[in-house]
Amino acid sequence: MKILIVEDDISLCGIIRQSLEKEQFIVEAAHSYASAADKAALYDYDCILLDIMLPDGNGIDLLKHLKNEGKQNIIIISAKNSIDDKITGLNIGADDYLPKPFHLAELSARIRSVVRRNNHSGSNVIVSGNINLNISERTVCIDGKNIELNRKEFDILSFCINRPNRMLTKEQLAEAVWGDNIDQTDNFDFIYAQIKNIRKKLIEAKATSKIKAVYGLGYRFIIE
């Protein structure tokens, strides 16, 4: 899953980021209202962790903006332990509220719970045709048989299976799986190689869903 941390405390942000990356999340960070709004407008995130106190604006106002833009899976993380802030945030549309200080293990569990509840009807398993993708265990089964995927192949398939029939460009796939580090690359040939491997494995396992190339545009995940 891809996470955006909106937190002006750079040290704390780094600690959270390192912890989530160890659990194989793709993590990006924004340290201000403006930066967070820009990132949320440009990219899709599976979950946004939002601090209320920001140097150039109020997190509650940012929450309103994000909800107006249709963003989901937003968890407020804040040292402000005011019941009014909690109620206001939840009423606006935040999916959870976690006061600081918190245990990193609890934060990870809250993220998984929110995404599972909102995106997958409370289940850890995404079903598409005869494909079963287990989010927490990071496994893929086709007709009950495990399919071996490397980390990036799993991340790409997970991104695609969550967006059936949508046009996905190479840029979107690369940015979703590699996050901010994608700025360091000159081309997206590696995406072609990863997609090629995934498609081959799906075909060999006789999957009823597939990733279809759309010439000159990108890819679609199709359920047949």
pLDDT in tens, 163-177: 888 898 888 888 777
Question: Model pTM?
Answer: 0.69
Q: Quote helix, strand, coil % in the chain, to nearest 5.
A: 45, 25, 30
Domains of the chain in start order, with CATH, are 2-119 (3.40.50.2300), 125-223 (1.10.10.10)
8 A C-beta contact, residue 131 and residue 209: yes
Q: What is the dihedral of CA 43, 157, 15, 40, to 10 degrees?
A: 10
- Mean pLDDT, to the nearest integer, of 71-84? 83
- Mean pLDDT, to the nearest integer, of 30-57? 92
Q: What's the one-letter identity of residue 97?
A: Y
CA nearest neighbour of 11 among 100, 114, 82: 100
Q: Residue 81 to residues 40, 52, 78, 97, 100: CA-CA distances in angstroms?
A: 26, 11, 7, 10, 8
8 A C-beta contact, residue 51 and residue 62: no
Strand 74-78 with 96-99, pairing: parallel
- Asked if the model's pLDDT at residue 123 lies above 80, the reply is no
DSSP state of 52: S
- Mean pLDDT, to the nearest integer, of 192-207? 92
What is the pLDDT at residue 192? 86
